[in-house]
Amino acid sequence: MKKYFKILTLICLTISIVSCKKGFLEESSQDLVRPTTIAALNQLMTGEAYALSTATPLNNYLDLLTDDIQSNYNANTAIVAGINKYAPVFTWERNMIDKLVEVAPEGNNTWFNYYSRIKGCNVILDYVDGVEGTESEKANLRGQALALRSFYYFVLVNLFGKPYHSTVTNPETDLGVPILLTADVSDAPIPRSTVKDVYAQVEKDLLTAVPLLDANGKNNHVYKFTATAARLLLSRVYLYMGDWDASLKYSNEVILAKPTLQQYNAIVPAGNPPTFAISSGASSPEVIWGYGPSTELSVMPFASAGTAPAKAGFSISEAFLSTYDPADIRLTWNFRNTAFIDGGAIVSYKSGSAKYAQGSAVLTNGKAFRTAEAYLNRAEANIQKAIAGDASGLTKALDDLNFLRSNRIKTANYTPITIADPQALYTFYQAERRRELCLEDHRWFDLRRWGMPAISHNIQVVAGSPETVTLSQNDNRYTLDVPMEALKRNPNLLQNP
């Protein structure tokens, strides 16, 4: 297998786009081994395009930007050091990524991490037509590579570009990220494309991938991209763009293909962490695609199991937890350490959360595309249509929200919601989406597309010296800075304002 990975020199990012680690571009063999079979290309795909295979997460800090997480003072030296390390993120410092990379490069060099995976996808696309294998095998691999590439670009443009659908942004002129569609190493400095152009590329890749995966990827397992996963991503992309009809089309198709939600009332707790995790591709009937290494769940500063009642450096926000109905099973199942439920100890960030069941034998992924999102996307699109005057949208949205909640609330306490005003239902929906998708990399992007509201974080590293930092409405810090190393290597990259 090692011989196939000599092609890693092709996967290293163009030096003018992103900083590479020392030595990453140093191999100079003139006799590089190219993959010649579909099996070799599949190995390359697994190792260099998919994120699950690596111990390094693509990013491990996104939730710290949101109002779902709080910081807690703790005199423990190790926890104080951890709070200091991630304080630039929690306080929205402009150069947060540069500072994170300085002290802890694992999972924090976001620009590099995503572009390296994009290069892996591009290698597949460059070579797939020339390897030995059936046309169906090639089409399946091509569809996976296109869908994966679209996902990585979609995340990048929502980190480093302004929101697509907003009253204070313009996707036709706002800068997104550079679009790289080939694995060829080049010194040509590539400028940032507009947000609209990046979205157009994402859309094009996904629309090309869906029929390829429909026809050739039906047997792909839960850790590989499928047509259903691509459709769910399309429903999300169109939701972010404000194209309600297109989002409805693809969320409908996802639900038709995979309608089941996990009934929380049927879960029998066992172990600490429990053996069931809603985002685990091995245990949850809702998982459409499992991705991301589980290691990212344990890197934030937290109290050990023996001291769980003590506050961790970062934990689930108590203010956010207070928005759950006491009969909502998610409150205890997802966000309380099961060994300390009686004491009410909240889990630290993601570590120990039964939502992920880190350490459980059944867990192989850290994140997932889930069916629940399809119901939420469809509900939001229908609410928006109701606000615009389509009365049927209200009923359809209520049906989806009530179906979701009936699978999350204790049966004896469940009562369907009957909100008749579309705008009021939209407010309820936003809170419900936050509750259901907490810690799954949605909240930061949702805040951006829902008007970039003002939020505040309290942080205290030294006893008696608390600080409150506020992200004002429409703050430019809702768009992250391009890392300095990328700017140094590519003079055509412009920094965000």
- Half-sphere exposure of residue 335, counting CA atoms within 13 Å on the CB side? 25
User: Would you tell me the crossing angle of helices 96-103 and 77-90 to the nearest 10 degrees?
Assistant: 150
Measure the CA–CA gap between 280 and 37, rounded to whole angstroms. 31
Strand locations in 218-366, DSSP E?
A: 287-291, 314-316
How large a percentage of the chain has pLDDT more than 70? Answer: 80
User: How large a percentage of the chain has pLDDT more than 90?
Assistant: 63
pLDDT greater than 70 at residue 271 = no
Q: Which residue has the higher pLDDT, 141 or 351?
A: 141
Residue 270 above 70 pLDDT?
A: no
pLDDT tens digits, one per residue of 407-421:
999 999 999 999 999
| DSSP state letter for 294 | G
Closest CA to 348 of 318, 303, 306: 303
Q: Are 274 and 357 in contact (CB under 8 A)?
A: yes
Instruction: Find where tokens 């100890």 sit.
Output: 345
What pLDDT digit, counting tens, does each position of 449-497 carry?
A: 999 999 999 999 888 999 999 999 999 999 999 999 999 989 999 999 9
Provide the CATH topology of domain 2-489: 1.25.40
Task: For the chain, give the mean pLDDT.
Answer: 85
Q: Please report which confidence band the pLDDT of residue 120 belongs to, taking 50, 70 and 90 as the band edges.
A: very high
DSSP-derived letter for residue 133 is S
What residue spans define the domains of the chain? 2-489
**Run of H or E including 385:** helix 371-387
Joined together, the tokens standing for residue 334 give 């997802």
Model pLDDT, residue 101: 85
Cβ-based neighbour number of residue 259 at 10 Å: 12
**Between residues 17 and 429, the one the model is more confident about:** 429
Residues 6+ apart with CB under 8 A from 350: 63, 296, 297, 298, 300, 356, 358, 439
Rounded to whole angstroms, the maximal C-alpha distance in the chain is: 70
CA distance 282 to 321: 27
Helix (H, G, I), strand (E, B) or coil at 288: strand
pLDDT above 90: residue 93: yes
How far lies 205's CA from each of 82, 209, 425, in Å? 39, 6, 34
Give me the mean pLDDT over the 10-25 stretch. Answer: 36
Is the alpha carbon torsion for 410, 413, 418, 419 positive or negative? negative
Answer whether 354's CB lies under 8 Å from 274's CB.
Answer: yes
Angle between helices 244-257 and 371-387 (to 10 degrees): 150
273's tokens:
């962490």
Q: How far is CA 170 from the centre of its chain?
A: 24
- Please provide the distance, in angstroms rounded to a whole number, between the alpha carbons at the two ends of the chain: 46
For residue 288, give the nearest of 215, 222, 366 by alpha carbon. 222
Give the span between the Cα atoms of 120 and 249, in whole angstroms.
Answer: 30
| Position 338 pLDDT exceeds 60 | no
**pLDDT for residue 82:** 82
Give the residue, 306 or 293, on which the prediction is more confident: 293
Inform me whether the pLDDT recorded for 74 exceeds 70. yes
3-state secondary structure of 346: strand
State residue 309's pLDDT score. Answer: 45
For 413-472, the DSSP string reads: G--------HHHHHHHHHHHHHHHHTTSS-HHHHHHHTT---EEEEE-SSTT--EEEEE-
Task: For residue 26, report the phi and psi dihedrals to the nearest 5 degrees.
Answer: -85, -20
**pLDDT digits over 215-257, tens only?**
999 999 999 999 999 999 999 999 999 999 999 999 999 999 9
CA distance 99 to 33: 37
Cα–Cα dist 349/68, whole Å: 9
pLDDT tens digits, residue range 348-370?
Answer: 566 556 666 544 444 467 789 99
Return the pLDDT at 301: 59
